[in-house]
Amino acid sequence: MPDFDVVVLGGGTSGSLIAAEVSRAGRSTALVEAGLVGGEAPYLADMASKSLLQSARRGETWEHAVARRDEVAGHLDDTAAAAQLAEAGVTLIRGTGRITGPGTVVVQPNPGKDSRSGPAAAAPLTLRYQDLVVCTGSEPVAPPVEGLADVPAWTSAEALTCPDLPRRLVVLGAGPVGCELAQIYAAFGSQVTLIEAEPHVLPGEAQFTGEILGDALRRTGVDLRLGSAVVKAETTDEGLALTLADGTRIEADRVLLASGRRPRLSGLGLEELGITAGPGEMLPLDEHCRVVPNAPGKAVPNAPVKTVPNAPGKAAPSAQAKGAAAGTKATGRVWAAGDVTAVAPYTHTARYQARIIAANLLGSTRAADYRAIPRTVYTSPSVYTVGMSPSLAAATGVDLITVSYDLAETARAQVEDDDRGRVELYADAGSGDILVGAAAIGPDAEEWMGEVTLAIRARIPLAVLTDVVHAFPTYGEAVGTPLRGLAQRSAGGGVAAGGGVAAGGGGPEDASPEAAGVAGPGTAAGADGSPGPGANGSVGADAEAGTGGDAGSAAGQASGALPSRKPGRTAHRGPRPGDHPTVTQPLRGADE
Ligand SMILES: Cc1cc2nc3c(=O)[nH]c(=O)nc-3n(C[C@H](O)[C@H](O)[C@H](O)COP(=O)(O)OP(=O)(O)OC[C@H]3O[C@@H](n4cnc5c(N)ncnc54)[C@H](O)[C@@H]3O)c2cc1C
């Protein structure tokens, strides 16, 4: 029975990083991978979707875009990733791992996967570990709809590896994945219907982001159906039909399931260690990314950004849990990183947690701080949100001071002739000298919102932030002006509360809070004046939670409509049914 210091279950983004780092530092390390070394991001998710979005922006044909996508995804060949692990000294074992008791994992060989590089377990193989790291990622969940299992359906991974361009595609779920894929397929000529049970796109995020993105999706040709869930699916002679709760019937050739994912926990044998999280639940995790034994899992909230797992000691130990004491023995330290933890399920979160676990395994004591994990949607325009959202503030009783600024007011928007977008910055009225959250939508928002992320994470005082000089002409100037408004407001600058007024006549250098669209505290839904978790300036781990009420009544969102500098503009002609199969509708400047 091979003995290892560290066994990593799952060799995706987080697992590969941890295994390589601790192995390079001299720990004997085995990594068990059931599929592709590297996981979802390089082959089946992030890179493939970003490649297709870029092809759409360039106006490439579908055939060209698919060829480029497959090239970017390495033709699903993980040889190079496996070689990097070998170079780091990691023992790669291909197969499906299952915990069989404290300190032991059994790997079952996967039939048909033997041709991949690296050793495959020919027969079940038992490994012993001192430390176990669970990095098994997440899996898509289909909504419980009558008949849905019987109609032609895609997961996002299937959609991003298939060469097909359906004539009529229905996308279920208008979260980040649903919006990106809806825009991709619509841009290449599919007749796309995007269905979301919530009343707006990107539920859980600041409402203005969903409103502006919804308009952009419509201009790409997407038919948006908001606020009504699918209740029935059936096959028809020509494909399939979905019935919505409001009675609407939608016909299509294929359904794409993008309505949610859950941590991949089933079949792992965690109960052998006294860890009771089941399918659809989050692992109980402490701030060091260590799994807390004997604490039951918590339901994964149905939101694009998940709550941070409960702190240790909140739940009573389960007397029935097998091996209840095992999780605390020397052979039983269990850690978890990436989507399986349900903390802000992004590749950058998986990498962050991986670095924390690697450091802790190598003798340091590092705690995760989730206050400023970016949440991104790479559509055109793109969406970047970070830290506290209005819906989280409403759910937790935090009074937000909100300032907003339309990108249309920047000189860069005039230069680019692309004025779609807006920025909102949030301070906690209880400790208004720092930023606690931000939301932006606009061209390449992910590239110019980094400073806000740093400001939230490092709790940089507003007085310092307002002294930062932004280059002219950049979209980054859209951050500078509202920051000055926020600083004035939080310093008691006498701005009337409840504004939410979008920037009017002020240019980028107009520092007045009115120009920056300042809204006072107390207008967020559910705000009761209580200090809430942010009262001491720290929003704590729960800042990443995306659950809670409708963000619609949050301060500063009254003017969330798409700003229009050019009222005379005609709407983009999206693809029509007869266009199929067709040449891409370029996304950038698609509303010209
Ligand atoms: C369509 C789409 C687009 C996305 N785009 C972005 C983006 O642009 N930016 C971003 O930051 N995030 C994006 N994400 C999210 C990102 O892909 C995930 O957060 C990230 O891949 C999670 O990494 P991970 O290490 O948790 O899991 P993964 O990388 O998924 O790895 C988990 C691995 O565990 C293996 N495994 C599972 N069970 C077992 C077992 N029992 N034994 C052995 N191996 C096992 C699996 O085979 C898999 O390889 C996207 C997601 C989707 C679906």
Per residue in 172-220, pLDDT (tens digit) is 999 999 999 999 999 999 999 999 999 999 999 999 999 999 999 999 9
Residue found under tokens 């705000």: 527
Q: How many residues does the chain have?
A: 592
Query: Which one of 53, 106, 346, 377 would you pick to mutate in the ligand 1 pocket, going by the greatest count of ligand atoms within 8 A of its CB?
Result: 346
Which of 491, 486, 492, 475 is CA-nearest to residue 513? 486
Distance separating alpha carbons of residues 110 and 113, to the nearest angstrom: 6
- Banded model confidence at residue 519, pLDDT cuts 50, 70, 90: low
Distance from the CA of 357 to the center of ligand 1, in angstroms? 17
Distance from the CA of 10 to the center of ligand 1, in angstroms? 9
Is residue 302's pLDDT more than 60? no
| Two structure tokens written together for 376 | 């991104």
Ligand 1 lined by 45 (C-beta under 6 Å): yes
pLDDT of residue 301: 54
Dihedral sign from CA coordinates of 409, 414, 415, 416: positive
513-534 average pLDDT score: 38
Is residue 540's pLDDT more than 50? no
pLDDT of residue 124: 94
Distance separating alpha carbons of residues 275 and 327, to the nearest angstrom: 8
b/e map 125-137, b = 16+ CB within 10 Å: bebebbbbbbbbb
Report the nearest atom of ligand 1 relative to the CA of 160: 1
Assigned CATH class of 375-588: alpha beta
The predicted-structure confidence for 541-592, as pLDDT tens digits, reads as follows 333 333 222 222 222 222 222 222 233 333 332 333 332 322 234 454 333 3
pTM attached to this predicted model: 0.82
Looking only at the bridges linking them, the beta strands covering 125-134 and 239-244 are unpaired
Query: Which one of 36, 43, 46 would you pick to mutate in the ligand 1 pocket, going by the greatest count of ligand atoms within 8 A of its CB?
Result: 46
| Two structure tokens written together for 558 | 């009254």
Ligand 1 lined by 260 (C-beta under 6 Å): no
Ligand 1 lined by 156 (C-beta under 6 Å): yes
DSSP for 395-459? HHT--EEEEEEEGGGSHHHHHHT----EEEEEEEGGGTTSEEEEEEEETTHHHH-HHHHHHHHHT
Ligand 1 lined by 10 (C-beta under 6 Å): yes
Distance separating alpha carbons of residues 566 and 410, to the nearest angstrom: 14
The predicted-structure confidence for 45-78, as pLDDT tens digits, reads as follows 999 999 999 999 999 999 999 999 999 999 999 9
Which of 12, 103, 566 is CA-nearest to residue 326? 103
Residues of the chain with CATH 3.50.50.60: 3-38+78-139+266-361, 148-259
Distance separating alpha carbons of residues 490 and 496, to the nearest angstrom: 12
CB neighbour list of residue 267: distance below 8 Å, 6 or more residues apart: 96, 98
Is residue 150's pLDDT more than 70? yes
The predicted-structure confidence for 110-143, as pLDDT tens digits, reads as follows 875 544 555 555 789 999 999 999 999 999 999 9
pLDDT of residue 385: 98
Distance from the CA of 32 to the center of ligand 1, in angstroms? 15
Distance from the CA of 190 to the center of ligand 1, in angstroms? 27
CA-based end-to-end distance of the chain: 66
Determine the topology of domain 148-259 in CATH: FAD/NAD(P)-binding domain (3.50.50)
Distance from the CA of 380 to the center of ligand 1, in angstroms? 24
- Banded model confidence at residue 509, pLDDT cuts 50, 70, 90: very low
DSSP for 394-410? HHHT--EEEEEEEGGGS
Residue with the smallest CA separation from ligand 1 atom 2 is 45
| Two structure tokens written together for 180 | 């990106």
Task: Report phi then psi at 515, rounded to 5.
Answer: -65, -30
Contact present, 155 and 260 (Cβ < 8 Å): no
Ligand 1 lined by 303 (C-beta under 6 Å): no
Looking only at the bridges linking them, the beta strands covering 104-108 and 96-101 are antiparallel
Q: What percent of the chain has pLDDT over 70?
A: 74
Distance from the CA of 339 to the center of ligand 1, in angstroms? 7
Ligand 1 lined by 132 (C-beta under 6 Å): no
Distance separating alpha carbons of residues 399 and 532, to the nearest angstrom: 8
Query: Of 120 and 234, which is predicted with more confidence?
Result: 234
pLDDT of residue 117: 53
Ligand 1 lined by 321 (C-beta under 6 Å): no
pLDDT of residue 407: 96
Residue with the smallest CA separation from ligand 1 atom 7 is 46
The architecture CATH gives domain 3-38+78-139+266-361: 3-Layer(bba) Sandwich (3.50)
